[in-house]
Amino acid sequence: MRTADVVIIGGGIHGCSTALHLALRGLKPILVEKDYAGRHASGVNAGGVRQLARDLAEIPLSIASMDLWERIEELVGDDCGFESHGTVLVAENDEELAGFKARVDDLRLKGFTHEELIDRAELKRLVPAVADHCPGGVVSRRDGAADPFITTQAFRRRAIEKGAEVLEGVAVTGLSKVGANWRVETSAGPIEAPQVVNAAGAWADRIAAMLGEPVPLTVVAPMLMVTSRVEPFIQPVVILRGRKLSFKQRDNGTVVIGGGHLATVDRDRNETVLDWNKLAISARTVWELFPVMRAATIVRAWAGIEAYMPDGIPVVGPSSTSEGVFHQFGFSTHGFQLGPGTGAMMAELVATGSTNTPIDGLKIERFLKA
Amino acid sequence: MNASDLAPSYDLVVIGGGPAGLAAAALAARAGLSTVLFDENPGVGGQIYRAITSSPVKDRAILGEDYWAGAELAAEATASGALIVNGATVWSLDPARLVGVSIAGQARLIQAGRVIIATGSLERPFPIPGWTLPGVMSAGGAQTALKAQGLVPSGRTVLAGGGPLLWLLAAQILRAGGKLDVILDTTPRRNWLRALAHLPDFMLSPYFSKGLKLLREVKAQVRVIRTDRIEAVGDDKLREVVFDVGDEERRMPADLLLLHQGVVPNVNLAMAAGVTHAWNARQLCFEPVLDEWFTSSVPGIAVAGDGAGIAGGTAAVERGRIAAIAAVRALRPEASVPDAQVIRQKLQREEIGRPFLDWLNRPADALRQPEGETIVCRCEEVTAKQVRDTADLGCEGPNQMKSFLRCGMGPCQGRLCGLTVTELIAAQRGMTPADVGYYRLRPPVKPITLAELASLPIAEAERKAVER
């Protein structure tokens, strides 16, 4: 019988980050992953490292994460392709810009200064290629982008170096309390540990259900496409609010186009089917916003499988029913940037029983009716 | 023909206008299915009958009677009532049989009742040192230039590799007045050991006498040298070809090196559609798993021709017909179709020599699994050493390799490196290629421009949502 201090279910960036931070605290975690680390959303997302435009409840985690991103090489021994040129939320008309201003003002009152309103001139300076009709926007200057698969693998590798065990191709089939321990049944035999972290992404509701905590998780697969190399013309990541778009040029010249249009998904078969009608909407948006892109060639499109919660923010914190179990899932298509910081916070919570990072708005109780 | 002239749906969409596609479209259309055939070339014929309706090579002896047999197939398809669209690039096919196609810069999504994928074969990668130099090209590329433009190599030309098509191309080049300085035959001699047992079957095959004649014709005119190692050497372009004869290294100045070591199924579209594939250990390639009607694991999608496993052009015709009969039976059971049993007998005769040809022409390990600084992925310039080292570090599969090295992520979408990467990982980690698997392929299987994608008609529901 295998034993550990903590069993982590799920080898995405969150599971791997939590494994690393637990190992750094001297605990022995075993991470169980049904495919391989970074197989789904964590390995194939758009790679945006973004504090901009986040829900108030997750801003503290996002800021804690950003501090780790800025010293990512020291943390995991790989630069993870992280580059920091800011994220710009582009307003397409004055009405949108007025809304953005209200949001930035409100954040300032609450003490958050990472979002900054910019006018037309500053927008043109940051994003010269943007179409002329855009009157301004919001920038978060410390934001950036990284290579998602390499990042997830780097966390996995460093976690192992620091003493974590990672079992890939192993699925969790059951969870039960045996004395003071949790017994985690897997396709490679049982593992016992006093504590368990549920970081199972698009499959996390099944783990929660084993604990009597059914959550309304939706399985989604946001589509992305990438172009062949084009001349460098844009540095920051660009996102829109009115229409679905995220847009970034990597330093190798390729442009990743995303924004949240969804593929159809079958999580039991690890399968996604792309919806070209919706990708065409993204193509038309780029066509209008960045005329320079019209002749660019799309070489690949894909979608990663992940979890979406009804309120669009994750479930982070202790289980409501089962002492020793913690949830870390449901990042609702924006969990990549949160990985480093949430793993650090979760390790603190698991190891010490509390954390200084405010996560009150993210608890699972919000979905459980009395 | 514009994309906007297409109907929103067809009973049968055939993808690829080679022998399998032409035969399938003709049979289905004649049986009353609304049939469209998309072919990305300017004219039908595929690779074997390339430019069959337009070739400037009018002397029939040059390309041979087998080539001109393609004209009849093309005429049959045209007369059948099938809509044949050339210059049509199919870039997506999903399990619900929605076909993404572009014609002259305009894209459309077409719903198919059934799909027959007839996208044929590709030349197997031939990754030797220097194979990316200007002046080194695939023999298939040379054959295309001959058929479509009547061009033959001039200057000092070396043809290297193995397989039946190598000898066919040599003969065609010579008949057209081209010159070959030497043929470097890389077929391992010990292949005969495995092949010999299948010789009696091969002697029954139509390829037996044709093959012997071809070999005699070529060997009478060109020096043939056996070798196990070839390098292309030059700085900005090919200067010389270096090869071993026994223990001795020879250097030969050359302007053109043509490489060929057989063909493998072109799996990109079928894989992207979700069709299950398996490793063929004899042909050393992945091929779709199909039933006796060439139907795949995805309902309503069949794969015919060399895409179903290499068997040659005449077998492709019969395979196309069988797949088309299945489509007709599914959609129009009352229609009369030819007797499938008779077609199967013909197919069997065409395929009987295959085990012999496969074993005899099996390329040497060293020419499929390069080492050191030899480029594996041309698009992203990834070397064999990088792939081998990354496999040693723990990278278990081609998809993870993609993420680490970007191999297979360029515009060719893995066509030129997929098998090499799979075989290198297998060799390095002591696994079988079947266990290593292949790149997970994603549409678009052919690059499309942003403008083309933006040209998809706006769905009614979406228009309303925008105007709101």
Query: What pLDDT is recorded for position B293?
Result: 98
Contact: A300, B413; criterion CB under 8 Å? yes
Q: What's the pLDDT score for residue B467?
A: 47
- For residues A313-327, one letter each, b for 16 or more C-beta atoms within 10 angstroms of the residue's C-beta and e for the rest, the string is bbbbbbbbebebbbb
Amino acid identity of residue A4, one-letter, is A
Q: Give the closest residue to A8 by CA, choosing from A23, A26, A25, A30.
A: A30
Q: Are strands A116-119 and A136-140 parallel, antiparallel or unpaired?
A: antiparallel
Cα A193 to Cα A7, A8, A113, A207, A245: the distances in Å are 6, 10, 41, 16, 43
SS3 A285: helix
Q: What tens-digit pLDDT sequence spans chain B (468 residues)?
A: 889 999 999 999 999 999 999 999 999 999 999 999 999 999 999 988 998 888 888 888 888 888 988 999 999 999 999 999 999 999 999 999 999 999 999 999 999 999 999 999 999 999 999 999 999 999 999 999 888 888 888 899 999 999 999 999 999 999 999 999 999 999 999 999 999 999 999 999 988 999 999 999 999 999 999 999 999 999 999 999 999 999 999 999 999 999 999 999 999 999 999 999 999 999 999 999 999 999 999 999 999 999 999 999 999 999 999 999 999 999 999 999 999 999 999 999 999 999 999 999 999 999 999 999 999 999 999 999 999 999 998 888 999 999 889 999 888 889 999 999 999 999 999 999 999 999 999 999 999 999 999 999 887 556 555 544
Give Cβ neighbours of residue B72 (< 8 Å, ≥ 6 apart): none
Query: At A331, phi and psi to the nearest 5?
Result: -75, 0
Q: With contacts defined as CB-CB under 8 Å, which chain A residues touch B447?
A: 228, 297-299
Q: Give how far the C-alpha of residue A216 lies from the chain's centroid of Cα atoms, to the nearest Å.
A: 19
Model pLDDT, residue B299? 97
CA angle B35, B38, B43 (to 5 degrees): 115
Q: Are strands A172-178 and A116-119 parallel, antiparallel or unpaired?
A: unpaired
Average pLDDT of span A144-171: 96
The answer to whether B191 and B361 are in contact (CB under 8 A) is yes
Neighbours of A116 (CB within 10 A): 16
Helix (H) or strand (E) holding B268: helix B268-272
Looking up tokens 């229609």 gives: B335
DSSP state of A365: G
Q: Which two tokens stand for residue B258?
A: 């043509």
Q: Identify whether the C-beta of residue B27 lies closer than 8 Å to the C-beta of residue B52.
A: no
User: What b/e sequence results for A230-242 when a residue is b if at least 16 CB atoms lie within 10 Å of its CB, and e otherwise?
Assistant: beeebbbbbbbbe
How many Cα atoms within 13 Å fall on the side-chain side of residue A86? 20
Cβ–Cβ gap A149/B410 under 8 Å: no
Task: Give the Cα separation of B14 and B36 in Å (integer).
Answer: 6
Distances (CA, A) of A65 to A59, A69, A71, A138, A264: 10, 6, 10, 20, 31
Q: What is the band of A165 on the pLDDT scale with cuts at 50, 70, 90?
A: very high
Contact between chains at B450 and A297 (C-beta distance less than 8 A) = yes
Q: What is the pLDDT of residue B460?
A: 57
A→B interface, C-beta within 8 Å: 36, 38, 43, 147, 149-150, 153, 227-228, 252, 271, 273-274, 276-277, 279-281, 283-284, 286-287, 293-302
The pLDDT value given to residue B468: 40
Nearest to B44 by CA among B108, B110, B88: B88
Using DSSP, state whether A322 is helix, strand or coil: coil
The rounded mean pLDDT for chain A is 95
Instruction: For an interface test with A, give the residue of B93, B453, B466 to mutate (most A CBs within 10 A).
Output: B453
SS3 A330: coil
* Axis-axis angle for helices B65-79, B313-331 (nearest 10): 20
- Does the beta-carbon distance from A299 to B404 stay under 8 Å? no
Among candidates B95, B451, B462 on the partner chain, residue whose Cβ is nearest the Cβ of A294: B451
DSSP code string of A31-71: EEESS-TTSSHHHHS--EE--TT--GGGHHHHHHHHHHHTT
Residue B167 and residue B153: Cα distance in Å, rounded?
15
Q: Which two tokens stand for residue B295?
A: 């139907």
Q: Which residue has the tokens 């599914």?
A: B330
Q: How far apart are CA B321 and CA B300, in angstroms?
A: 15
SS3 for B278? strand
For residues B250 and A135, what is the distance between their CA atoms, to the nearest angstrom?
A: 69
Q: How far is CA A212 from CA A209, A314, A321, A362, B39, in A?
A: 5, 18, 7, 18, 56
Please tell me which residue of chain B has the smallest CA distance to A271. B274
pLDDT in tens, A100-112: 999 999 999 999 9
Chain B residues close to A36, C-beta within 8 Å = 396-397, 400
What is the pTM (predicted TM-score) of this model?
0.93
Contacts of B448 in chain A (CB under 8 A): 297-298
The alpha carbon of residue A88 is apart from the nearest alpha carbon of chain B, in Å, by 22
Rounded to whole angstroms, how far apart are CA atoms B267 and B415? 9
What is the pLDDT, as a whole number, of residue A259? 86
Q: What is the ipTM of this complex?
A: 0.89
Given a cut of 60, whether residue A139 has pLDDT beyond it is: yes
- Structure token digits, residue B468: 């709101």
Give the pLDDT score at B53: 87
| Residues 6 or more apart in contact with residue A235 via CB below 8 angstroms | A85, A86, A126, A249
User: Residue A346: which residues within 8 A CB-CB, separation 6 or more?
Assistant: A14, A18, A21, A197, A316, A326, A328
- Is the Cβ pair B409, A296 closer than 8 Å? no
Instruction: Taking residues A183-210, report their average pLDDT.
Output: 98
The residue type at B173: I
Task: Pick B449's closest partner by Cβ from A276, A297, A301.
Answer: A297
Amino acid B64: pLDDT: 87
B413 interaction partners in chain A (CB closer than 8 Å): 299-300
The answer to whether B370 and B360 are in contact (CB under 8 A) is no
CA distance A245 to A30: 38
The dihedral built from the CA positions of residue B318, B323, B327 and B332, taken in this order, carries a sign that is positive
Contact A229, A254 (CB under 8 A): yes
d(CA A216, CA B392): 42
Of B100, B443, B449, the CB nearest to A295: B449
User: What is the band of A275 on the pLDDT scale with cuts at 50, 70, 90?
Assistant: very high
Q: Do A287 and B456 touch (CB under 8 A)?
A: no
